[in-house]
Amino acid sequence: MNTISSSTGAGVVPDERDAVAAVRAVIDGVFAAWADNDADAAVASYAPDATALLPGTYLEGKEAVRAAMAAAFAGPLKGARVIHDVLSVRFSGTGTALVVNRAGLVLAGETEPRDENRALDSWVLSEKDGVWRIRAFHNVPENAG
């Protein structure tokens, strides 16, 4: 695996820069949809067979992820948003990207994430015909103790 980009983008050549930008745009789009509490938009870039692994939960397939997000946005996460910082984008061969980001869930009425709502995420994306799709998402608490 080659580390192509850090959050600074240092050492990235033009073609790689385009790929990094495209991958980051997918991740940014997911979190923009969070701010709108829009489950359909949040999974728009997920592959049909994508998986999501969260503490205590395994979701298999884009529709399962969408349904879980819709339920959360209608309930405990109504009005929530996520702030995030992409820490790295790496490529494993052609057409596969591995992304790590730090995220903080900001609940409705709050301005900053609580410590218990901070997480580290990993993403696996694949590219086909110029379109990047999320294949897998994994979320762990940042402050697990």
For CA atoms 143, 38, 45, 59, give the dihedral sign: positive
Domain that holds residue 24: 2-141
What pLDDT is recorded for position 91?
A: 94
For CA atoms 53, 65, 3, 128, give the dihedral sign: positive
What's the rounded Cα separation, in Å, for the pair 67 and 126? 23
Q: What CATH number does residue 91 fall under? A: 3.10.450.50
Against a cut of 0.75, is the pTM above it? Answer: yes
Q: How many domains does the chain have?
A: 1
What pLDDT is recorded for position 145?
A: 62
Residue type (1 letter), 74:
A
Per-residue pLDDT for the chain (145 aa), expressed as one digit of tens each? 334 444 444 555 457 889 999 999 999 999 999 999 999 999 999 999 999 999 999 999 999 999 999 999 999 999 999 999 999 999 988 899 999 999 999 999 999 999 999 999 999 999 999 999 999 999 999 987 6
C-alpha distance from residue 45 to each of 22, 28, 29, 41, 133 (Å): 12, 11, 8, 8, 5
